[in-house]
Amino acid sequence: MRYRDTNEGIGRTTLPDGAAPVDLNLLRTFLAVYRTGSFTAAARLLGLSQPTVTTQIRALERQLDRELFQRLARGVAPAPYADELASRIVEPLDALATVTGPGGSADVHPAEPVHLAGPAELLTHRVMPALAPLVDKGVRLRITPGLTEPLLEELRAGRYDLVISTYRPRGRALASVPLGDEEFVLVAAPVWAERIGGPARIEADGSAPLHGVPLVAYAEDVPIVRRYWRHVFGKRLVCHPAVTMPDLNAVKAAVAGGTGFSVLPRYLCSAELASGVLVLLHDPDDPPINTGFLVQRPGSSGNPHVALVRDHLLATARDW
């Protein structure tokens, strides 16, 4: 996006396809309608009247000679060209909004905080470090840890803008995109690894050497460990946990302290494996992997910082 140098061109931009200069206010209005799926919601977001929003969208459609929205009984749906236009302008307009606010003036109130929720361990070890550059640019965050199912219910109710989910939610009420994979690993402290004969014994005899070793788990029904047993050993887990704690960091600490064995996400214990505090008991060719999803309600927020956080997480998750 490039700006004219003349005074009369301030607040206008030339679209990448060489079209005539377009008023930035029209593009902001378009993006608000595109994100909220409603002229009324966009008007409320921008502090304009609904007729003004309608007039601006019609003016933009005339300038571009393209239909941007299809009017529905409730709200609007983007026409094909609207998706293309949004992809062109979303990054520069969102970047501008971090400085000027969503209305384009430095005098308006800053964007609302972005409410993000997800598993505590992933938020702590992956998400918060990834979002540090956005906070430095003025993005405000409100972070809530929790279990996926209740977090998704609260997302449907409008409490959150984004939720990191451990599974893809069903139905059309929520939109989700894959965020990243987490690999699960079987670990124990060196004292237990030595006692059972080390990884070589697991490789040779499967899960049998772990019989009698205390299991430390996240929950009584041990979902992570059961999945590992089915996927890797091809059998049902029959032992019960000796210790349960609904905090994977606490599970990791207990195992590192010599309490027993467990199955943990590799990202959570990579430092301990590298230092020798924990021992990788098994390294199968096909380890169990779980895909996390970034979830939001379609058209639920016109806050430009929500899109910034979403896009930044999706980009940085490629390196996780």
* Residues 258 and 149 sit within 8 Å (Cβ to Cβ): no
Q: The tokens of 179 are what?
A: 């965020």
Dihedral, CA of residue 118, residue 121, residue 127 and residue 129, to nearest 10 = 150
Q: Give residue 94's identity as a one-letter amino acid code.
A: D
So what's the pLDDT on residue 242? Answer: 97
Tokens of 311: 């896009």
What gap in Å lies between CA 147 and CA 133, rounded to an integer? 26
The candidate with the shortest Cα–Cα distance to 310, out of 91, 79, 112, is: 91
Judge if pTM exceeds 0.75. Answer: no
d(CA 186, CA 229): 10
pLDDT of residue 97: 63
Amino acid at 248: L
List, run by run, the mean pLDDT of 10-residue segments along the chain (320 residues).
Answer: 34 53 85 83 81 93 92 82 85 67 50 91 94 91 94 90 94 86 97 96 96 95 95 94 95 98 97 98 95 83 81 87
Which pLDDT does position 35 carry in this prediction?
Answer: 78
